[in-house]
Amino acid sequence: MSRKGRCRTLTVVGSLYPRGRAGTSSSLRSSRLAREDAFDPYRWMMVNPIRRSEQGVAVDVLVVPNASTSEVVGLHGDRIKVRIACPPERGRANSELVATLRSATGVRNAVVVVGRTTRWKTVELVGADRDLVEKALVDP
């Protein structure tokens, strides 16, 4: 037996994605697929970036340094995206992030808890209400 004889080829009979089942019309299938409230298999992976903590509210943030202005962009995946006008040098971006979140939410005290040297941070807003923070940051 030669080496070529050892390899087998797999032939696919039919389609992996059938176009329809018996008894359903194509317009009914297309209307089911076009619905906006259809099942999203990745929805379970989404985590709320704003959660209660012992001292107030913890917010998961994605920081974009060296932007033209400092602003809260909104929800970006499982984090809140914030653009910062400062470069990430010697804690300048962290202090600008805290100032931006304080002005956006109206909270007096905010601290970077996790991620002091990365773009993915967790900021704790001390003494804040979760509903007010979510309203201010998710839909700016």
**34: in domain:** no
Let me know if residue 67 belongs to a domain: yes
Within-domain flag for 5? no
Task: Give the pLDDT score at 77.
Answer: 85
Choose among 121, 47, 49, 125: nearest CA to 80. Answer: 49
Q: Residue 38: inside a domain, yes or no?
A: no
Tens digits of per-residue pLDDT, 73-97? 988 888 999 999 999 999 999 999 9
- Where residue 89 sits, what CATH number does that domain have? 3.30.1200.10
Q: With respect to residue 117, please indicate whether it lies within any of the assigned structural domains.
A: yes
Q: Provide block-wise average pLDDT over 10 residues at a time, the chain (140 residues).
A: 50 48 48 51 66 93 94 90 93 94 94 93 94 86
Total domains in the fold of the chain: 1
Q: Which residue range forms the structural domain that includes residue 59?
A: 48-138
Residue 37 resides in a domain: no
Give the model's pLDDT for residue 79.
92
DSSP per position, the chain? --GGGG-------S-SS-S--TT--HHHHHHHHH-TTS--TTGGG---SEEE-SSEEEEEEEEE-S-SS-EEEEEETTEEEEE-SS-SSTTHHHHHHHHHHHHHHT-SEEEEEE-TTSSEEEEEEET--HHHHHHHHH--
Please report whether residue 133 resides in a domain: yes
In this prediction, residue 108 carries a pLDDT of 92
Query: Residue 70 and residue 109: Cα distance in Å, rounded?
Result: 18
> Is this model's pTM higher than 0.95 or not?
no
Quote the pLDDT of residue 107.
94
Instruction: Classify residue 98: in a domain, yes or no.
Output: yes
Q: What is the pLDDT of residue 69?
A: 94
